[in-house]
């Protein structure tokens, strides 16, 4: 059973690496794109990939907890910079929730561009700044 859990975790890590590579490509596109409409689509892609990554890691954590695979849990704790098993699931779910909250106004602006008010446009500007900072960091990574 332990070998199956480790194999499952390795598969998830492989998928996470693939997502990280896609985020790096999205980052490159974002930093080269001037069009606000195109930037929004790239930001949506970047944030969606981030949600996908955390969702995969959440699945890994659930499986590790159920199978008492503490080596995997220890690795996940390091990824999330935590030191308490009890906080791991909450932290992962909070990352997913936070990213979904960032994504929502972007998706609404893409679908309904004429309905955004001042507040929504301001939130989108902040999301753009946040993702742009993240994109600059991704460009520096060796994936």
Backbone angles phi, psi at 58, to 5 degrees: -65, -45
Best CA proximity match to 54, nearest among 86, 87, 98: 98
Does the pLDDT of residue 121 top 90, yes or no?
yes
Give the whole-angstrom CA distance, residue 108 versus residue 93: 23
Residue 73 token pair: 């849990």
What is the rounded average pLDDT of the residues 98-122? Answer: 94
Structural domain for 105, as ranges: 2-140
Angle between helix 36-66 and helix 85-111 axes, rounded to 10 deg: 150
Banded pLDDT at 1 (limits 50, 70, 90): confident
Structure confidence at residue 128 (pLDDT)? 97
Largest CA distance in the chain: 54
Prediction pTM value:
0.93
The Cα 30–Cα 35 span in angstroms is 10
Mean pLDDT, residues 90-108: 97
Reported as a single tens digit per residue, the pLDDT across 27-81 is 999 999 999 999 999 999 999 999 999 999 999 999 999 999 999 999 999 999 9
Residue with tokens 């309904």: 112
Q: How many structural domains does the chain have?
A: 1
């Amino acid at each position: 059973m332990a070998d199956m859990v480790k194999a499952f975790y390795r598969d998830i890590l492989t998928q996470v690496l693939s997502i990280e590579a896609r985020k790096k490509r999205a980052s490159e596109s974002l930093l080269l794109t001037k069009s606000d409409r195109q930037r929004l689509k790239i930001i949506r892609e970047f944030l969606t990939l981030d949600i996908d990554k955390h969702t995969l890691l959440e699945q890994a954590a659930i499986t590790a907890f159920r199978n008492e695979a503490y080596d995997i849990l220890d690795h996940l704790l390091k990824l999330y910079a935590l030191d308490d098993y009890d906080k791991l699931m909450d932290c992962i779910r909070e990352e997913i929730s936070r990213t979904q909250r960032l994504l929502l106004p972007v998706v609404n602006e893409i679908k309904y561009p004429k309905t955004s008010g001042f507040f929504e446009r301001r939130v989108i500007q902040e999301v753009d700044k946040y993702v742009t900072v993240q994109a600059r960091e991704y460009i520096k990574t060796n994936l």
